[in-house]
Structure 1
C-alpha cells in the first residue's frame, strides 16, 4: 500500500473531485451520477470522480491510497461505496472546487476499482461550515487498486447524509424489493 495523500483538503458545496483529463472543463452533478449505484462517488464521466462530503465548506481530513489488491474494509468507516475508474491521462489529481488546489495522485493509466469511505458525515453536515481553528468531524478515504471494470455499489451506509445522497441518485429497478 502507498499513501498518495494524507492531509486536510478544502471542500466547497460538499464536493471535491478526481480529474485526469488535461482538457477537463468541469462536469455537472447530474452527469457525474447518471446511472450510478451510489450517491457519494459519481463515476459516470470517463476519467473523473465527483466526491460528496458531509461538510458544506471548510477543511476535511482526506487520505488517498493505492493498493495492489482489494484492501479489507475497516469497521470504523461508516460509509463505503465502490466504483470502476480509469484515468484518461497520467495527469491524475484530487482537485478542489472552483480550480483551487490540485494534488497529483501518481496513478498510471489502467483500470481501477475505487472505494470511497467516510465517517462523521452527519456531524459535518450539522456543522455546515468549518472555520480555521475549529475541530473537524468528518474523515474521508479514497482507495484505488487494479481491477477489471465492474458495476459500482454501496458497501456500507449508516448516516442520514449518505442515505439522502443515495436516494437522490440511485434508482432501483421497477418492482425491486426494499
Structure 2
C-alpha cells in the first residue's frame, strides 16, 4: 500500500494513538507492560500508545503500510513492537481527537516501527503553534509479521532515554 498519511496530527500530553476497531484508548501503563521500549506501547491487542517530544500542538506524522521491514533511514529514535489489530480497520488519533486517518489492516499481526527525530527539541519547545511549528517528526511503519518481543533499534535523545528508562513500563 505504501504511504497512507503524511500530515499534521494533534498531540496533547505528548501522546498519539493507533487504534483498531473495538478498543478504547485504555491505560498506557497496561500497554507498556512487559515491554523494554518506552515510546510505543502495544501490549494489548488493538491499541498502540505513541510518545512525542512536543507536549501540545500539531506534529508531523507519516504512516506507511509495507510488505517488508523498511530501511532505518536518518531517524534518531527507532523502536519496534508487535501490533495486533482487532478487526480490519485502524486509525491514527491525536489525544482525545477524531481519527486523522483510517486504513485497512487485514493481516492478523504486524510489526510496528515507530521512528522519531528531534524529540529533545520538541520537548524543549513544548508547544507547537502556527508561528512555531513542532521541530520533532514521526513515522509509523507497519508490515505483516509474526509476533515477537519489542525492541529499541536506535536511542539517541535524552527525552527518548527518559521514556525508555523511567516511562510507563518502568
Give the deviation of 1:85 after TM superposition. 1.0
Give the deviation of 1:101 after TM superposition. 3.6
Mapping of 1:7-86 within 5 angstroms? 7-22=7-22, 24-74=23-73, 76-86=74-84
DSSP-derived class of the 1:137 partner: coil
Q: What corresponds to 2:2 in structure 1?
A: 2
Aligned residues: 169
Give the deviation of 1:97 after TM superposition. 1.2
- Say which of 89, 99, 105 aligns to 2:97: 99
Distance of 1:37 and 1:132 partners within structure 2: 35
Distance of 1:137 and 1:156 partners within structure 2: 19
Larger Rg: 1
DSSP-derived class of the 2:96 partner: helix
Query: Greater share of strand residues, 1 or 2?
Result: 2
TM-score (norm 1): 0.90
RMSD across aligned positions (CA): 1.4
* Gapped regions of structure 2 (runs ≥ 5): none
TM-score (norm 2): 0.94
Distance of 1:26 and 1:68 partners within structure 2: 27
Give the deviation of 1:55 after TM superposition. 0.3
Deviation string 1:102-138 (CA, Å, 9 cap, x unpaired) is 4102221421111000001000000001122323200
Tell me if structure 1 keeps the 8 A contact 2:58–2:133: no
* Gapped regions of structure 1 (runs ≥ 5): 172-178
